[in-house]
């Protein structure tokens, strides 16, 4: 599987106190460890197990994912804009790989 590429959508600017929605998507098979491959053997589990969103280094939202999360996992959540800064998003794979994305937010 190629390195999963995350995609993040959020507004570039927000008013102070405004609650914005952040939508994320990452290409990943989320192999649940239940499926049999062409050889009849169970394909071993390999999923992204943790998603984290930080703003100016402070954790603002996280999600523990288990094998019942669909392939190419989608996650949306909210954030109350308070000051300008940057988001750092991280997806942690079963194999220890961490996939990252970043985005800036300007608060007027």
Closer residue to another protein in complex, CB, 79/89? 79
Q: Which of residues 43-102 bind another protein (CB under 8 A)?
A: 55, 58-71, 73-80, 82
**Residue appearing with tokens 């079963």:** 94
Shortest distance (Å) from residue 33 CB to another protein: 8
Shortest distance (Å) from residue 67 CB to another protein: 5
Closer residue to another protein in complex, CB, 20/101? 20
Say which residues have a Cβ less than 8 Å from residue 59's Cβ, sequence separation at least 6: 52, 53
**Beta-carbon neighbour count of residue 108 at 10 Å?**
9
Contact predicate 44/31, CB 8 Å: yes
């Amino acid at each position: 599987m190629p390195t999963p590429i995350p995609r993040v959508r959020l507004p570039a600017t927000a008013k102070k106190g405004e609650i914005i929605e952040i939508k994320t998507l990452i290409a990943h098979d989320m192999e649940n460890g239940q499926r049999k491959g062409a050889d009849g053997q169970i394909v071993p589990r390999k999923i992204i197990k943790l998603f984290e969103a930080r703003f100016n280094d402070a954790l603002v939202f996280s999600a523990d994912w288990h094998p019942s999360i669909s392939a190419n996992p989608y996650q949306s959540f909210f954030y109350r804009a308070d000051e300008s800064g940057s988001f750092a998003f991280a997806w942690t794979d079963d194999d220890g790989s961490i996939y990252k994305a970043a985005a800036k937010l300007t608060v007027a």
